[in-house]
Structure 1
Amino acid sequence: MNPLAALDAPVDPVVALTRIAWLLERDRQSTYRVEAFRKAARAARRVGADELARKASARTLTDISGIGKTTAAVIVEAVDGGLPGYLADLQASAPHSLAGGGQEIYRAVRGDLHAHTEWSDGGASLEEMAAAATALGHDWLAITDHSPRLTVANGLSAERLAQQLEDIGELNRESGDGARILTGIEVDILDDGTLDQTDEMLGRLDIVTASVHSKLRMDAAPMTRRMVAAVSDPRVNVLGHCTGRRVTGGRGSRPPSVFDARAVFTACAEHGTAVEINSRPERVDPPDDLIELARDLGCLFAIDSDAHAPGQLDFTSLGAQRAEQHGIDADRIVTTWPVDRVLDWAASDV
């Protein structure tokens, strides 16, 4: 399923519900509405095509837990061989791209080094995120759920992370030609620059994206030391949303952290740590002047979605537009690389 190509009738009911959820997420609609369609898709898949058709004919779909009046109407129209009106309206109004530029770089993107699942504060399963990455045409996707100290985001203990690694291994074995899922974490950078996960677990991961989530208003000197220590750690591959700012969104705005960006980005360049261009519309992080500084200092970059749901993976088009605007060559963007090159880079000390 290509989310950027409109579906025509006939369409499978589960595909129709999934596509609606995707388009709503892409348009940043309410989580409640999105989850209603995702829950209905799960319920429809669980019931099976034959029973779904029988209940659609009998108009008893709402007897199935997880299917309400609106989602039942979508299923009925799909079962009857038509294109559900709800889906048709969304497709007609959806822009081909979320960004006004950057298409050449966006087409070059092969993967994403920052994505969340329901294991921490995401809204979808590993399987759903993997399917979405495949649908977008990604070759690979790193799952980077939060680390334990971020309890508000249900951060993963070492034990839970170990279980997730087993589940990712099984998913990859069963995926066939689908996107390869890389093991990873968005690890908190602690106050002294150390990392919020055990050494043993960090050593087992394909990708480590490190971010500051606490004491964002720390004074510039200790914040700089904190960040330099983290990006100099050979296990860290990506510096996530470096200023921590929010420029818009339901949770309000937040000013950027203050630190010596030249010192931090110099350390990134020296240690081969990529500076993330975080593509979430409420972050737009780093700001323009810091992207240019990192570019001029020779840093690598990662255009990441920071997706917390399948439809948000397409946020990378916004990051691609910013990379183009600031003249960043595609080969300096690690998320345009094939998976073997990414893994070699991530495993290297420099």
Structure 2
Amino acid sequence: MEAVEALKEIGFWLERELAKTYRVEAFRKAAAAIEPLSPDELAKQVKDGSLKRLKGIGDRTFGIIAEAVAGEVPGYLADLRERGEKPLAVGGAKLRAKLRGDLHSHSNWSDGGSSIAEMARAAVWRGREYQVVTDHSPRLTIANGLSAERLAEQLDVIAEVDAEHDDLRLLSGIEVDILDDGQLDQTDEMLGRLDVVVASVHSKLKMDRDLMTRRMVTAIANPHTNVLGHCTGRLVAGSRGGRDQSRFDPEMVFAACEKFDVAVEINSRPERRDPPSRLIQIALDYGCLFAINTDAHAPGQLDFLDYGAERASANKVPASRIVTTWPVERLLEWSNAKH
């Protein structure tokens, strides 16, 4: 197999397993280092050992490249593939099979680790019918949020990558910050140009309960909002440690979601598991729609849908009320209706 593809695939499986970032980056950097080389040039440098002197190539990655150049599937990759045959979650298989797309993912335009093109290729490989690129908005400077000007540039890139794929609709979107007063952190003009808008609270998560409720309901009522992202902001595991969920009136918030036709996100990231099951049940009682999303920041994290499907299934969320089970035409009809 091609050495570049072997290295990238290893990165995918490691991301899927939540490996340390430095381990993943070692393989992705090695792939980038050899990508400009022709097959003959790569084979020559492997044979004479000069490839080891190339920046980004270590003993481990050199060995993997050598196996690939010799026409073999590298042993390390074969082991990862074998582990990857098992789903990430035990339950939810039937619901997982019904999921067609994902409305929340990030690229290296904000705080993701891979290009839009790489994310699209992985989405095709993992069987997506559609994938939405939702990088962050300007206020989230720590995540390199997109100004209106950068977002406009990104729309052109998304259109170009979308045109390269016959078996995937790559859709435009944003994870827009819900500001303190409930306004959305992007211009109305730009929000109106997007296919899907995910609105999330990222700051002042300890805000007073009533003020947080008003903040969230204001954002939900905005005619551009399609999805309420990770509504509590909690963290239950992972390298960032724990974080308590924000306090708000769930009945008012989910009643607003139902009234304004906004889907409640079931965030599939294992460190979030947001909303908690109790809130999923309240949203169900209020007749809300749901979106099972990965919030992927790297290609390997696109498989996190397994976790979201497991939680939705355990909470008996009907597939008919999950917008990510819908065909893309129906999804876009729904998302554009408010705009």
Query: Do both proteins adopt the same fold according to a TM-score greater than 0.5, normalized to the shorter chain?
Result: yes
Map 1:283-302 onto structure 2 (within 5 A): 283-302=272-291
Identity score, percent: 58
User: 83-92 vs 67-76, which deviates more?
Assistant: 83-92
Shift of 1:213: 0.4
Shift of 1:62: 2.2
1:141 is the counterpart of 2:148: no
How far apart are the structure 2 equivalents of 1:210 and 1:167?
22
The letter of the residue matching 1:47 is L
Match of 2:270 among 278, 281, 287: 281
Shift of 1:95: 5.3
Map 1:70-89 onto structure 2 (within 5 A): 70-89=60-79
Helix, strand or coil at the partner of 2:41:
helix
Aligned to 1:322: 311
Aligned to 2:323: 334
How far apart are the structure 2 equivalents of 1:108 and 1:53?
44
CA contact (8 A) 1:12 1:78 kept: yes
Match of 2:97 among 98, 104, 107: 107
The letter of the residue matching 1:24 is L
How far apart are the structure 1 equivalents of 2:16 and 2:118?
15
The letter of the residue matching 1:45 is E
Aligned to 1:3: none
Helix, strand or coil at the partner of 1:204:
coil
How far apart are the structure 1 equivalents of 2:332 and 2:32?
33
How far apart are the structure 1 equivalents of 2:145 and 2:306?
28
Aligned to 1:209: 198
Shift of 1:126: 0.4
How far apart are the structure 1 equivalents of 2:85 and 2:204?
38
How far apart are the structure 2 equivalents of 1:18 and 1:196?
34
The letter of the residue matching 2:297 is H
How far apart are the structure 1 equivalents of 2:48 and 2:97?
45
Deviations 1:122-166 (A, max 9, x none): 100001100010010001100000000000111001111111011
How far apart are the structure 2 equivalents of 1:85 and 1:210?
43
Match of 1:246 among 235, 240, 265: 235
The letter of the residue matching 2:338 is D
Aligned to 2:144: 154
> How does the TM-score come out when normalised to structure 1?
0.94
The letter of the residue matching 2:19 is Q
1:227 is the counterpart of 2:216: yes
Helix, strand or coil at the partner of 1:319:
helix
1:19 is the counterpart of 2:5: no
Aligned to 1:197: 186
How far apart are the structure 2 equivalents of 1:179 and 1:118?
20
Aligned to 1:8: none
> How does the TM-score come out when normalised to structure 2?
0.97
**Runs of 4+ in structure 1 over 4 Å off:** none
Deviations 1:61-117 (A, max 9, x none): 223333222111101011112221221232333451000010111111111111001
CA contact (8 A) 1:236 1:273 kept: yes
How far apart are the structure 1 equivalents of 2:39 and 2:284?
52
How far apart are the structure 2 equivalents of 1:45 and 1:335?
35
Match of 1:304 among 262, 280, 293: 293
How far apart are the structure 2 equivalents of 1:60 and 1:219?
61
Deviations 1:20-44 (A, max 9, x none): 1011001100111101111222233
Aligned to 1:5: none
Shift of 1:293: 0.8
Helix, strand or coil at the partner of 1:275:
strand
Query: Aligned Cα RMSD in Å?
Result: 1.3
Helix, strand or coil at the partner of 1:86:
helix
CA contact (8 A) 1:131 1:178 kept: no
The letter of the residue matching 1:330 is A
CA contact (8 A) 1:148 1:157 kept: yes
User: 40-49 vs 226-235, which deviates more?
Assistant: 40-49
How far apart are the structure 2 equivalents of 1:80 and 1:105?
41
Aligned to 2:35: 45
How far apart are the structure 1 equivalents of 2:312 and 2:283?
12
Deviations 1:282-335 (A, max 9, x none): 000000000111111111100000000000010011000111111111121111
